[in-house]
Structure 1
Amino acid sequence: MDTLTQPRRVERLVTGQATQDGAGVKLTRVLTQDLQRRLDPFLMLDNFASDDPDDYGAGFPNHPHRGFETVTYMIAGRMRHRDSAGHEGLLQNGGVQWMTAGRGLIHSELPEQEEGLMEGFQLWLNLPSDRKMGEPGYRDIQSAEIPEFELPGGGRVRVIAGESHGTRGAVQRERTEPLYLDIHLPAGEAVFRQPLPAQHNAFVYVYRGAVEVLDGQDYGTEVGRQRMAILANEGDGVALRASGSQEARLLLIAGRPLREPIAQYGPFVMNTREQLIQAVEDFQGGRLG
């Protein structure tokens, strides 16, 4: 693994907020609206995880989006996507659904299971101002299509977007340059190091076990399960190690900030209030998607 001269330290630990979305799906909202500026170009991160069908069975019926991209990563379960552009796909274990709303789509995400575990994440990635009214797009990425590599001493890294240690991810974006890694760290002393440009905003979200973010040779900050660590914009990367006697699993997400105005009203993310009003009028008038 690459050496780092100055690993990033943890600037802040964040505990997600329990909420409901769609038709009553219970989830944890980790990246909330008040953090959008700090973690630009990322707008939201939700974590859903339950083996109780009452928590997820109703899913997310038809709803609109405009002005950003949604990235849904399924750890366990089956979810059917349909949208107003005619796209349809089945999101299942280990797969990713990458949808570009652009000028507008109406879509649904409905479970195709009546029991068992449903677990995954949805990340919202902002679009640059000159692409917010662009052509909508959709891509289903099955688990086998996601590049991954093994770590010394066990563990592995799945590269959903960006590049890590010579492995190019399933998705690339020029303007925001997102890095999206699902990292499985073995218990023990093994350290995973990921170079990061200092100007890119970055955070870690732990969904199994606990992780140490090392900002020195042998010391750092522990990040527990279902906690997000915002990484300070200093240094040349991040160094991670499982904490305790169990394997750890986490998301490492980073990207180049757009530094543009953010105006959000529910499922619409634009740059001005006037653009939001137009989005609502287009949706109400049947002109969205």
Structure 2
Amino acid sequence: MTTIARMQRANRGQQFRAYRLHASDPALLDPFIGIDHAWMSAPTFPPHPHAGFSAVTYLFLDSETGMANRDSLGTRNLIEPGGLHWTAAGRGVVHEEYPAVTGDTTHLLQIFVNLPRDRQGNAPFALTLAPQDVPVVERPGSRVRVPLGRFGGVHSPLTPPTDVTLLDVTLEAGGELDIRIPAGQRAFFMPIHGSAELDGLSVGLDDLGAPILPVDDEVTTHKLVAKAGAAQVAVFIGSPLRQPLFSNGPMAFASQESLIAATAAYQRGEMGHL
């Protein structure tokens, strides 16, 4: 049975607002930990640690500027509108990102993806995908960007440590799109603009509803429809890791002992500095 999760609004002053999807039961989103659909127009979060999972930033094409990204690995880059940056934190990294032009608004997804237990203690690394390298599938009434994973015969060039799919779906008014979910995989849907229907269920910012499909033993196909005007929806798909989750916010591990050890390592400065 499809579950309708409710996103929560989150604001930090005038420069940051977001809709957050963080399930009270981690199994509902597994292998994802949580998603922030956000708008940011000025530096908002100071440098902070991550460990045990991956922090992924995807900028929508309507962003007015890019995101300046840096970390304690020495990464310094600009995430351009339409591009994606994946930070696999592993045993720990210090990270910061902010709009490249203060006052211009970035429109983004901040995606937190769990790492398989046997990779949570690995060395951190980063992956970057430029906007022009994101595969696009054009169909009557719809356009799908595929920054992660696969759809409609195309495949993202990235090979991340957790195999997940992210689809940025744009539907014209009256447009329809069939989305195939592989057997054994989790899928959920977040509204970005306008409102759509998934198998007759609302996907819209008016009610903050985000449908989460049950994991099925067989391949299933689901229909997205934009009935009341154009719509944009983000689709998340991945195989559940089915492992414990212990988190203090910026870090998440499969054991309490690993979480405590990573926290101590950060306090000793072992995750580096910016």
Q: 1:195 and 2:183 equivalent?
A: no
> Residue 18 of structure 2 is aligned with which of 2, 27, 34?
27
> Residue 59 of structure 1 is aligned with which of 34, 44, 49?
44
Contact 1:81 1:109 in 2 (8 A): yes
Q: 1:272 and 2:255 equivalent?
A: yes
- Equivalent residue number for residue 58 of structure 2: 73
Contact 1:27 1:49 in 2 (8 A): yes
The total of aligned residue pairs comes to 266
How far apart in 1 are the matches of 2:228 and 2:128? 36
How far apart in 2 are the matches of 1:86 and 1:117? 26
> Residue 260 of structure 1 is aligned with which of 243, 246, 265?
243
How far apart in 2 are the matches of 1:244 and 1:69? 35
Listed one character per residue, the Cα deviations across residues 204-240 of structure 1 (whole Å, up to 9, x for unaligned) are 01111111112xxxxx212213531111223633423
TM-score (norm 1): 0.85
- Equivalent residue number for residue 163 of structure 2: 177
Shift of residue 135, structure 1, vs aligned partner: 1.8
How far apart in 1 are the matches of 2:84 and 2:142? 20
What's the % identity of the aligned pairs? 31
How far apart in 1 are the matches of 2:13 and 2:83? 21
* Partner SS, residue 287 of structure 1: coil
Q: Which runs of 5+ in 2 are unaligned?
A: none
TM-score (norm 2): 0.89
Q: Which runs of 5+ in 1 are unaligned?
A: 1-8, 51-55, 215-219
How far apart in 2 are the matches of 1:49 and 1:238? 31
> Residue 39 of structure 2 is aligned with which of 49, 53, 70?
49
Shift of residue 103, structure 1, vs aligned partner: 1.1
Contact 1:23 1:59 in 2 (8 A): no
Contact 1:74 1:92 in 2 (8 A): yes
How far apart in 2 are the matches of 1:275 and 1:251? 32
How far apart in 1 are the matches of 2:172 and 2:142? 5
Q: 1:22 to 1:85 in 2, by over 3 A?
A: farther
What root-mean-square deviation, in Å, do the aligned CA atoms of Structure 1 and Structure 2 show?
2.2
> Residue 156 of structure 1 is aligned with which of 143, 157, 170?
143
Shift of residue 173, structure 1, vs aligned partner: 4.3
